């Protein structure tokens, strides 16, 4: 299209009559004939093709020859942060590196950087050279705060700040910037850091159920029921508060706790204690007579105490070499074997 | 030198025990360059780097029919590779984290996604230090569950709004 218009303009310049009307007073049609003619060997470019069209040597005025690239004039010790202060696409004339990119042709090398689309397509880090990063960080440094020196190790942190709230943020491109997983909040506290007595601790563990890990003694509460992160945060803290206060209360129905509900093995009122009493009290009552006093004496004996400790340890900690050995020694001492 | 305008607030700075940044992309070279940038920025700003490593890449493969109609024996296979890089920072204050993360995220290259997991440390709040039943008389504890729950909720709200 551009070639047609330029030919039209040229021909108008040569024509004497300025009017561009279909019916001229002379009866001659004064259309710009350049529109219809299309030189059979016209070049699409702006060269004059070796003067084939006659004495026309004039070049198109607005086309300039490109000068030498800026890279020739760049000093070796220039300030690169001024060349690429922010992200910009790769410009072959601004980057003084002999970069080649692309698949090499047969027997050839990868194409050069001039007019290379591959170099423009890939993400470039020309604006993030170490010098630029240092400049940016120097400007950002006043807005940073230092970590308190008293909180050096993780142990000190856990002691002073036992509650850990974990949440995630997401950065990605897409039709929507929001990510529904960003609202999830995980709360982690060590049970030992809360002020609880024995009954409260046991009740808390029962209330938590799966959310309590016995090996690490941590409470893990995950909240995702609210749409916003701050709401889930508040909800997690609310749950912790409720659990804490509820576990200190003693309800009337808690008196109905059976042996099956107990968390740990308790030797008092257990079949093991009954067996011991049956074995030894019977013998002593025959000699001395008073059942209650004899019972106390039997239970107070050091061998019985040791037997009690070994059985409790065996039931609570499970079977291992040390527990079995302890049980064996206690039984031996009890029956003087 | 231009004077820096800074505002000071009375609220205490939050403390993050760990800040974990996971970057995902299809091009390993881009993640290499980004890792260099992130580590240098952390060093300059004084943020302690706990660990920087590369989790194994994830390849998702599809096998589709080459032709739109019939030719079941001729298929074409595509794959999508996702490379990862994890940068773990430790002991970062709230202000530093905000500054560092904003700097990192503004310079995130095209085609790279990021996931940031922050673990904030907090003290035990005042309303969990002591059980509230110590102040109130014991007759409120014994009765029906509904009554206790009702009074309890109000009690909690009072404590939380203090």
Query: Which residues have CB under 8 Å from B65's CB, separation 6+?
Result: B71, B72, B74, B75, B76
Put simply, whether A123 touches B (Cβ < 8 Å) is yes
Q: How far apart are CA B140 and CA B148, in angstroms?
A: 7
Q: What is the pLDDT of residues A171-183, one digit of tens each?
A: 998 899 899 999 9
pLDDT tens for A14-27 read 545 444 444 545 55
- Structure confidence at residue A59 (pLDDT): 65
pTM (two decimals): 0.74
pLDDT tens-digit series, residues A112-158: 999 999 999 999 999 999 999 999 999 999 999 999 998 888 899 99
Give the tens place of pLDDT for each residue, A55-71. Answer: 666 666 778 888 888 88
10 Å Cβ neighbour count for A189?
A: 21
Task: Give the pLDDT score at B159.
Answer: 52
Is pLDDT of A33 > 90? Answer: no
How far is A128 from chain B, CA to nearest CA, in Å? 7
Model pLDDT, residue B131: 82
Q: Which of A259, A233, A244, A241 is nearest to A167 (CA)?
A: A233
Interchain contact A324–B (C-beta under 8 A):
no
pLDDT of residue A224 exceeding 50:
yes
Chain A hits for B115, CB-CB cut-off 8 Å, are 168-171
The answer to whether the Cβ–Cβ distance between A172 and B113 falls below 8 Å is yes
Kindly report, residue by residue over A284-327, the tens digit of the pLDDT.
Answer: 666 666 667 777 777 777 888 888 888 888 888 888 888 888 88
Residues of chain B neighbouring A163 (CB-CB closer than 8 A): 121-124
In percent, the amount of chain A with pLDDT more than 90 equals 39
Residue stretches of chain B with pLDDT short of 50: 1, 138-155, 158, 162
Question: Higher confidence at residue A306 or residue A41?
Answer: A306
Token output for B128: 């969990």
Which residues between 137 and 156 in chain B have a beta carbon less than 8 angstroms from any beta carbon of chain A?
A: 141-142, 145, 148, 152, 155-156
Q: Who has greater pLDDT, A5 or A77?
A: A77
Main-chain dihedrals φ then ψ at residue B65, nearest 5 degrees: -70, 135
* Contact assessment for residue A314 and residue A323, using Cβ atoms and an 8 Å cutoff: yes
Backbone phi, psi, residue A17, to 5°: -80, 125
The overall average pLDDT reported for chain A is 81
Helix (H) or strand (E) holding B100: helix B94-106
Give the Å distances, CA to CA, from A269 to A171, A265, A275, A277, A306: 61, 11, 10, 11, 17
What local confidence, expressed as pLDDT, does residue B5 receive? 64
Candidate from B91, B101, B141 with C-beta closest to A147: B91
β-bridge mates for residue B52, sequence order: B87
Q: Is the dihedral of CA A81, A86, A90, A93 positive or negative?
A: negative
Q: State the residue for tokens 């080459």.
A: B66
Hey, is the C-beta of B84 within 8 angstroms of any chain A C-beta? no
Structure confidence at residue A36 (pLDDT): 45
Position A263 scores a pLDDT of 79
Q: Is B39 exposed, middle or buried (0-12, 13-18, 19+ CB in 10 A)?
A: middle
Q: Which of B18, B34, B19 is nearest to B85 (CA)?
A: B34
DSSP B119-131: EEEEPPPGGGTS-
Residue A222 tokens read as 């995950």
Helix (H) or strand (E) holding A310: helix A302-317
Distance of CA A237 to the CA centre of its chain: 23
Determine contact, residues B19/B61, Cβ cutoff 8 Å: no
- The candidate with the shortest Cα–Cα distance to B110, out of A206, A288, A121, is A121
Chain B hits for A134, Cβ within 8 Å: 44
């Amino acid at each position: 299209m551009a070639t047609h218009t330029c030919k039209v303009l040229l021909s108008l310049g040569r024509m004497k009559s300025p009017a561009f009307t279909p019916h001229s007073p002379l009866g001659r049609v004064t259309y710009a004939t350049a529109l219809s003619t299309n030189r059979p060997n016209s070049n699409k470019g702006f060269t004059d093709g070796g003067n084939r069209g006659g004495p026309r040597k004039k070049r198109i005025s607005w086309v300039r020859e490109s000068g030498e690239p800026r890279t020739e004039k760049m000093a070796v010790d220039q300030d690169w942060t001024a060349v690429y202060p922010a992200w910009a696409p790769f410009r072959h004339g601004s980057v003084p590196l002999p970069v080649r990119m692309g698949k090499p042709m047969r027997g050839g090398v990868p194409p050069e950087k001039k007019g290379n689309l591959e170099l423009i397509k890939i993400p470039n880090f020309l604006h993030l050279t170490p010098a630029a990063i240092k400049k940016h960080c120097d400007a950002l440094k006043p807005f940073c705060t230092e970590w308190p020196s008293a909180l050096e190790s993780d142990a000190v942190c856990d002691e002073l700040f036992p509650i850990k709230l974990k949440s995630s943020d997401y950065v990605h491109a897409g039709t929507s910037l929001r990510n529904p997983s960003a609202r999830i909040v995980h709360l982690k506290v060590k049970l030992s850091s809360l002020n609880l007595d024995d009954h409260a601790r046991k009740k808390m563990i029962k209330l938590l159920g799966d959310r309590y890990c016995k090996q690490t003694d941590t409470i893990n509460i995950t909240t995702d029921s609210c749409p916003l992160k701050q709401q889930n945060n508040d909800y997690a803290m609310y749950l912790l508060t409720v659990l804490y206060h509820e576990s200190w209360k003693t309800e009337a129905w808690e008196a109905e706790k059976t042996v099956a509900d107990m968390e740990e093995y308790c030797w008092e009122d257990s079949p093991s204690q009954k067996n011991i009493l049956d074995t030894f009290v019977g013998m002593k009552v025959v000699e001395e007579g008073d059942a209650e006093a004899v019972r106390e004496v039997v239970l107070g004996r050091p061998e019985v105490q040791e037997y009690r400790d070994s059985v409790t340890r065996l039931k609570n900690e499970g079977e291992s070499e040390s527990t079995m050995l302890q049980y064996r020694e206690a039984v031996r001492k009890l029956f003087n074997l | 030198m231009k004077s820096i305008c800074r505002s000071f607030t009375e609220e205490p700075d939050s403390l993050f025990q760990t800040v974990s940044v996971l970057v995902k992309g299809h091009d390993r070279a881009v993640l290499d360059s980004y890792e260099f940038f992130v580590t240098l920025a952390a060093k300059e700003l004084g943020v302690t780097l706990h660990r920087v490593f590369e989790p194994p890449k994830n390849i998702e493969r599809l096998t589709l029919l080459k032709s739109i109609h019939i030719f079941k024996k001729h298929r074409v296979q595509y794959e999508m590779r996702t490379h990862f890089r994890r940068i773990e920072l430790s002991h970062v204050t709230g202000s530093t984290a905000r500054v560092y993360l904003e700097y990192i995220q503004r310079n995130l290259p095209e085609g790279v996604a990021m996931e940031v997991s922050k673990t904030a440390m907090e003290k035990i709040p005042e309303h969990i230090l002591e059980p509230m039943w110590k102040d109130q008389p014991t007759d409120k504890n014994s009765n029906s569950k509904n009554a206790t729950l009702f009074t309890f909720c109000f009690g909690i709200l009072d404590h939380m709004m203090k």
